[in-house]
């Protein structure tokens, strides 16, 4: 009679089926309680019944119950593992990326107008076969003036126009913030054998400030030396550069001008419409250029009877002002994104 009260193998099999059918951890917990609950779990009760059996019967029954118990626990654990392991359907829900979702645009910056333009300059002249080199912004008086044939009494050497740097250097070694990129011509000629063509972009400094002048601004110098390089070659290079860098229909004019390091010397003006009210626009001086003076070639140990060529210096900021119709050079340097975002 007592034997009949204890669950038989059929009942354990029912529990196993129930376990298999469970789809949540909560279901499994309920079954676990039904089997192993301390007070009324089926297995707990069956184990308690053992003490009412005769010693022989008890031994066999205990063995059978222990096997069933182990098998039920194995089933439970296995299913628990499966339910805990995220299946692919769950992953799709929680980890998926919706490539069609329309997110707010991330703000993307761009190079500053001056640097963007400088890269275009390097590309444009690169296509014409020009190398790119750079020189220091702190120069000696020798490099910035003397070797460029600038006379002792030239006003550019004046403390009113040039930033001189305090140091214990004397004479031609005195230091200045370079007033133009022309000293890089000297550095390049002293270290290269002609023929060559190169440009030298960078910052320059002058004591000047208004709508079209800034105490720091950008230039790119150019130099082309060969046996038969002429003023006509120079004009062709200038015109190509202006049209490519600003616009095909940019208005410009060549004027004669004086620079001690060229002979003859020219200047190029371009039409600047910085202000919408002045429809006509006004001429802005943008380039100084000319045939390299024989004294300059000699100063760099290049024989002027064999070699000749041209040099030029473009004002980068002014070209940017013309290209983008910017009314004041001062807008270019504070780094105000409200200004920069417009381009």
State in angstroms the smallest separation of the CB of 333 from ligand PHE.
19
Strands in the chain per DSSP E? 131-132, 138-140, 164-165, 175-177, 196-205, 216-226, 252-257, 262-272, 282-292, 308-315
State in angstroms the smallest separation of the CB of 329 from ligand PHE.
15
Of 177, 197, 200, 175, the C-alpha closest to 187 is 200
Closer by beta carbon to ligand PHE, 79 or else 204: 204
Closer by beta carbon to ligand PHE, 28 or else 262: 262
Which residues are within 8 A (CB) of 125 and not within 5 positions of it... i.e. 6 or more apart? 132, 199, 222, 241
Closer by beta carbon to ligand PHE, 12 or else 125: 125
Question: What single DSSP character describes residue 210?
Answer: B
Closer by beta carbon to ligand PHE, 42 or else 287: 287
DSSP string, 271-322: EE--STT-TT-EEEEEEEEEEEPHHHHHHTT--TTT-EEEEEEEEHHHHHHH
**What distance in Å separates the CA atoms of residue 16 and residue 71, rounded to the nearest whole number?**
9
Closer by beta carbon to ligand PHE, 36 or else 163: 163
CA dihedral 242, 243, 247, 252 (to 10 degrees): 60
Residue 255 β-bridge partners: 267
Closer by beta carbon to ligand PHE, 15 or else 145: 145
Rounded to 10°, the helix 231-245/113-127 angle is 130
Which runs of consecutive H residues, i.e. helices, occur in 128-198? Answer: 141-144, 183-191
Closer by beta carbon to ligand PHE, 72 or else 199: 199
State in angstroms the smallest separation of the CB of 338 from ligand PHE.
31
State in angstroms the smallest separation of the CB of 206 from ligand PHE.
9
State in angstroms the smallest separation of the CB of 121 from ligand PHE.
15
Positions that interact with ligand PHE (CB under 6 A): 180, 182, 221, 259, 262, 265, 288-290, 311-313
Residue where the block lists tokens 């069933």: 68
**Tokens encoding 95:** 């980890």
Contact between 17 and 10 (Cβ < 8 Å)? no
State in angstroms the smallest separation of the CB of 225 from ligand PHE.
13
State in angstroms the smallest separation of the CB of 257 from ligand PHE.
8
In degrees and rounded to multiples of 5, residue 10 shows phi and psi of -60, -40
State in angstroms the smallest separation of the CB of 222 from ligand PHE.
8
Closer by beta carbon to ligand PHE, 130 or else 312: 312
């Amino acid at each position: 009679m007592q034997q009949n009260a204890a669950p038989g193998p059929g009942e354990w099999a029912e529990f196993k089926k129930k376990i298999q059918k469970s789809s949540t951890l909560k279901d499994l917990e309920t079954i676990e309680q039904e089997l192993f609950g301390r007070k009324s779990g089926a297995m707990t009760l069956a184990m308690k019944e053992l003490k009412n059996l005769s010693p022989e019967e008890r031994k066999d029954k205990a063995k059978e119950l222990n096997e069933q118990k182990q098998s039920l626990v194995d089933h439970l654990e296995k299913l628990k593992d499966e339910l805990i392991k995220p299946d692919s359907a769950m992953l799709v829900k929680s980890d998926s990326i919706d490539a069609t979702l329309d997110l707010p645009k991330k703000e993307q910056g761009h190079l500053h107008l001056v640097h963007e333009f400088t890269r275009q300059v390097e590309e444009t002249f690169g296509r014409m076969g020009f190398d790119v080199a750079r020189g220091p912004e702190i120069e000696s008086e020798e490099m910035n003036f003397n070797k460029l044939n600038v006379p002792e009494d030239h006003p550019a050497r004046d403390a009113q126009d040039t930033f001189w740097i305090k140091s214990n250097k004397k004479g031609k070694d005195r230091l200045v913030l370079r007033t133009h990129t022309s000293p890089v011509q000297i550095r390049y000629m002293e270290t290269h054998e002609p023929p060559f063509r190169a440009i030298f972009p960078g910052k320059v400094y002058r004591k000047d400030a208004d709508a079209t002048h800034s105490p720091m601004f950008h230039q790119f110098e150019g130099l082309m030396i060969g046996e038969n390089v002429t003023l006509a070659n120079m004009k062709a290079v200038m015109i190509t550069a202006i049209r490519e860098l600003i616009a095909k229909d940019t208005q410009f004019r060549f004027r004669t001008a004086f620079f001690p390091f060229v002979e003859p010397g020219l200047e190029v003006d371009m039409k600047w419409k910085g202000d919408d009210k002045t429809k006509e626009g006004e001429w802005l001086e943008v380039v100084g250029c000319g045939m390299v003076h024989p004294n300059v070639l000699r100063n760099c140990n290049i024989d002027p009877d064999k070699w000749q060529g041209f040099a030029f210096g473009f004002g980068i900021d002014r070209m940017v002002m013309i290209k983008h119709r910017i009314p004041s050079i001062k807008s270019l340097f504070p780094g105000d994104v409200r200004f920069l975002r417009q381009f």
